[in-house]
Structure 1
Amino acid sequence: MNTQIWERLLSYHSTETVQKKLEKTYEKLLYENSSSRSYDNCLRFVYFLKHGENFFTQANQSPPAIQPMLLFYGISQLIKACLIIIDPEYPSTSSVLAHGVSSRKRKKQQYHFLEDEIKIQRNGLFSHVANKIFQINHLEAEKYSMELLLKQIAEMNEVFSFHHSQKTSVLVDQDHDQFLITESVAQLFHMSPKRLAEFLEERYLFEFDKSNTEGIVLLKSVNSMATYNCMPFSYHLEEGNFYLPTSREVLLKIPELLVHYLLLYNLSMISRYETEWWYELLLGASNDDYPFILRYMEIAKRKIPYFILNFLEHNLK
């Protein structure tokens, strides 16, 4: 699967093709000088893409101890390739060059990764991408726990189920480009199917048929079911299915691609600066943090390149 995705991304390594597609995209977005901007950015785009791939390739060949750093720098490069499709001026100011997030000082005693938190900064790559690509604002000072972030990823459901005896997400059936909101799914939120559909429509990029007053409600995505941006649903890459978190408290307003950015930032900081704790975890495998982190990194290696390909297929036509 992963090799196939990188092979498909090879099509985007042609500056000739990318330049034409960028020009077309910039014209659609009503940017001035779309031709000259596309010439300026086509090489940058290919280099970001190649650099990101090199980091991921290296992560696949490296021991887990240094994988978080490689994966974080890899996702950063791949996101920048996506960003210049939407924002040809990036970086227009130095304020967008920082990572845009920070992790708290760690307590040496009784530290558990799942309880750790990450905080969003006003400026930096994270907020800039959230605004430009996903039209999400006002995230500064928001805090997210690692457990909450991991619950956004459908493939982590089985890990939570095995270690914590809790299902973090539920399978949602599809009818082409629509989700089926059934009674059993709605009951998890203590709502009727119609009320849950209204709730999701108010907060996310969905709409539903108001004439259907009872039974199964069809919820339609307004962005053609793009898997890179289907929040609060999560696409399970291995199954090809969509999942929804099982409680209102777990619903976030950040897409999964940015969830991976946050998780990998924190893991990269741990592997760089908390060496003693990190190696005790990796060599001792003494608590639940070990299977959660190792399983997550395997998912990230496959899923992030897939999301990037999905974004390019939707936005660079």
Structure 2
Amino acid sequence: MKSSTWEHLLSYHSTEIVQRKLEKCYEQLSYNNASGLSYENCYRFVYYLKHGENFFLQAAQSPPAIQPMLLFYGVSQLLKACLITIDPEYPSTSSVLAHGVSSRKRKKQQYHFLKDEIKIQRNGLFSHVATKLFQIQSLESEKCSMELLLKQIAEMNEVFLFHHSKINFIDVELTKDQILITEDTAQLFHLSSQRLAEYLVERFSYSLATEMDQHHVFLKGDTPMATFNCMPFSLHLEEGKYYLPTSRDTFSKMPELLVHYLLLYNLSMISRYETEWWYDLLLSVSNDDYPFILRYLEIAKRKIPYLVLDFLKHTL
């Protein structure tokens, strides 16, 4: 990227333009008094966005020991900015103010971050964002392992390859907002390109394009390709390519913004309450958790603002 995502997000720091865009959003969503709601929320939107940016900029200048806390609070603020583009009355009840997820209170001996799990709660910010922004309502009580979550982020592929000698993603070609499914890609799943494409259409928001031949099938999204919600694909931000997990078991059930929220929640809880384990990891670099976590934090600092910007471009 020639300029930082934060520079692009500066365009949304004008309450005048944000008020007009929010009003248009609320009208399309059939809210009464769209004009009044947009005026009430334009300042909140800008403040959430700016507060999130400050957390991220501070994280970039801080030691890794406290970065998870700053990034978690940062992504929470950015998601709230996204929320009020869809839900002008947020927060309408106190039940949406909690984090909406929980982690193990005490870490067991021989604890490894990649094997840890996090549980999704019925109420709270996480579930509210999942429902309002992504129309996902079936995540309650699900447990997600950190390893599985990390495997849904394309930039982590190199780390898994180095440490586990396993490729978790294969790149796919994107042409005019259409994804090319080749026979080589499909063979990883022991399917034909046509059957793999049909499998993705059945489970995700894609349809078969009319353009295809014996060895190639094209998928098109219900809307133009949106990076913030392109599951099970993931954009590798550094390479500018889209990747598909090499196993159906690791196909994501949630957009990547939610994956980052879960990872950063757990890391922030560890950095706050598991101080001994956390500093053992950071100072002794004694196991594989160290490179996975440090690499992830670097990705999160760049990827989350990019995904938020993409959401706002498609929404406002």
Provide the TM-score with structure 1 as the length reference: 0.97
Distance in 1 (alpha carbons) for counterparts of 2:165 and 2:257: 26
- Structure-1 residue corresponding to 2:272: 272
**2:59 is the counterpart of 1:52:** no
Deviations, residues 91-143 of structure 1 (Å, cap 9, x unaligned):
11111111000112343311000000011101111111111000111210111
Distance in 2 (alpha carbons) for counterparts of 1:150 and 1:56: 20
Distance in 1 (alpha carbons) for counterparts of 2:246 and 2:39: 46
Deviations, residues 221-269 of structure 1 (Å, cap 9, x unaligned):
1121010000000001111100000001101210001000000000000
Aligned residue for 1:64, secondary structure, equals coil
**Any gaps of 5 or more consecutive residues in structure 1?**
none
Closer, same or farther: CA 183–138 of 1 in aligned 2, 3 Å: same
- Structure-1 residue corresponding to 2:129: 129
- Structure-2 residue corresponding to 1:183: 183
**2:119 is the counterpart of 1:119:** yes
**2:229 is the counterpart of 1:204:** no
- Structure-1 residue corresponding to 2:298: 298
Do 1:69 and 1:268's aligned partners in 2 also have CA atoms closer than 8 Å? Answer: yes
Aligned residue for 2:66, secondary structure, equals helix
How far apart are residue 29 of structure 1 and its match?
Answer: 1.2
- Alignment length (residue pairs): 316
Closer, same or farther: CA 218–298 of 1 in aligned 2, 3 Å: same
**2:74 is the counterpart of 1:74:** yes
Distance in 2 (alpha carbons) for counterparts of 1:101 and 1:286: 29
Larger deviation, residues 98-107 vs 222-231 = 98-107
RMSD over equivalenced CA pairs, Å: 1.2
- Structure-2 residue corresponding to 1:226: 226
Query: 1:1-317 to 2 correspondence within 5 Å?
Result: 1=1, 4-209=4-209, 212=212, 214-316=214-316
Do 2:211 and 2:218's aligned partners in 1 also have CA atoms closer than 8 Å? Answer: no
How far apart are residue 174 of structure 1 and its match?
Answer: 1.5
Distance in 2 (alpha carbons) for counterparts of 1:293 and 1:183: 35
Aligned residue for 1:209, secondary structure, equals strand
Deviations, residues 131-157 of structure 1 (Å, cap 9, x unaligned):
100011121011110000000000000
Amino acid of the residue matched to residue 53 of structure 2?
E
Distance in 2 (alpha carbons) for counterparts of 1:214 and 1:280: 55
Amino acid of the residue matched to residue 287 of structure 1?
N
How far apart are residue 2 of structure 1 and its match?
Answer: 9.0
Distance in 2 (alpha carbons) for counterparts of 1:209 and 1:158: 32
Aligned residue for 1:122, secondary structure, equals coil
Closer, same or farther: CA 284–2 of 1 in aligned 2, 3 Å: farther
Aligned residue for 2:189, secondary structure, equals coil
Distance in 2 (alpha carbons) for counterparts of 1:68 and 1:146: 14
Deviations, residues 171-215 of structure 1 (Å, cap 9, x unaligned):
011211011111111111111111111111111110013684731
Distance in 2 (alpha carbons) for counterparts of 1:263 and 1:106: 17
Distance in 2 (alpha carbons) for counterparts of 1:2 and 1:176: 22
Distance in 2 (alpha carbons) for counterparts of 1:176 and 1:218: 10
Distance in 1 (alpha carbons) for counterparts of 2:197 and 2:253: 16
Amino acid of the residue matched to residue 276 of structure 2?
E
Do 1:207 and 1:220's aligned partners in 2 also have CA atoms closer than 8 Å? Answer: yes
Closer, same or farther: CA 207–263 of 1 in aligned 2, 3 Å: same
Provide the TM-score with structure 2 as the length reference: 0.98
Aligned residue for 2:224, secondary structure, equals coil
Distance in 2 (alpha carbons) for counterparts of 1:76 and 1:97: 11
Amino acid of the residue matched to residue 43 of structure 1?
Y
Distance in 2 (alpha carbons) for counterparts of 1:117 and 1:224: 34
Distance in 2 (alpha carbons) for counterparts of 1:163 and 1:55: 31
Aligned residue for 1:314, secondary structure, equals helix
**Any gaps of 5 or more consecutive residues in structure 2?**
none
